[in-house]
Amino acid sequence: MGTYLLKNWAVVALIAALVIGMVLPLATGISAPGFYFEVMLGGLMSGVLYSLVALGLVLIFKASGVFNFAQGAMVLFAALAVARMSEVMPLPVAFILAIGVMAIFAWLIERLVLRHLVNQDAVVLLMATLGVSFFLDGFGQTVWGSDIYQIDTGLPKTPVLVAENIFQGGILINTEDLVAAAVAALLVIALAIFFQKTPTGRALRAVADDHQAAQSIGIPLNHIWVIVWTVAGFVALVAGVIWGSKLGVQFSVSLVALKALPVVILGGFTSVPGAIIGGLIIGVGEKFAEVFLGPVLVRQFDLAGGGIENWFAYMLALLFLLVRPEGLFGEKHIDRV
Partner 1 sequence: MLYRENGQFKSSYAADQQLLPIAQDRWFVVGLIVFAYVAVPLLASDYTFRALIIPFVILAIAAIGLNLLVGYCGQISLGTAAFMSVGAYAAYNLTIRVEGLSFLIVLVLAGGIAALVGVLFGIPSLRIKGLYLAVATLAAQFFIDWLFARVKWFTNYSSSGSVSTAPIEIFGWTVVSPVDKYLFVLSIAIVLTLAAKNLVRGHIGRSWMATRDMDVAAEVIGIRPLTAKLSAFAVSSFYAGVAGALWGFVHLGAWEPLAFNINLSLNLLFMIIIGGMGSLLGAYFGAAFILILPILLNQVPGWFGVPISTGLVSHLEAMIFGSLIVFFLIVEPHGLARLWAIGKEKLRLWPFPH
Closest CA to 115 of 237, 278, 226: 226
**Which range, of 28-36, 89-97, 127-135, 176-184, touches partner 1 by CB under 8 A?**
127-135
d(Cα 240, Cα 310) in Å, to the nearest integer? 20
Contact assessment for residue 52 and residue 282, using Cβ atoms and an 8 Å cutoff: no
Does 53 interact with partner 1 (rule: CB under 8 A)? no
Amino acid type, 262: P
Residue numbers 238-297 binding partner 1 by CB under 8 A: 255, 258, 261-262, 265, 269
d(Cα 266, Cα 328) in Å, to the nearest integer? 6
Contact assessment for residue 32 and residue 169, using Cβ atoms and an 8 Å cutoff: yes
Q: What is the x/- site pattern for partner 1, positions 194-233, by CB under 8 A?
A: ----------------------------------------
**Which range, of 1-9, 115-123, 152-160, 227-235, touches partner 1 by CB under 8 A?**
115-123
**In the complex, minimum distance from the CB of residue 277 to partner 1, in angstroms, rounded to a whole number:** 18
Does 139 interact with partner 1 (rule: CB under 8 A)? yes
Does 334 interact with partner 1 (rule: CB under 8 A)? no
Amino acid type, 187: L
d(Cα 160, Cα 140) in Å, to the nearest integer? 36
**Which range, of 6-14, 75-83, 130-138, 160-168, touches partner 1 by CB under 8 A?**
130-138
> Per DSSP, which regions of 55-201 are E strands?
159-162, 171-174
196 CB neighbour count, 10 Å cutoff: 10
Residues that bind partner 1 (CB under 8 A): 67, 112-113, 116-117, 120-124, 126-128, 130-139, 141-142, 146, 255, 258, 261-262, 265, 269, 301-308, 310-311, 314-315, 317-318, 321-322, 325, 335-337
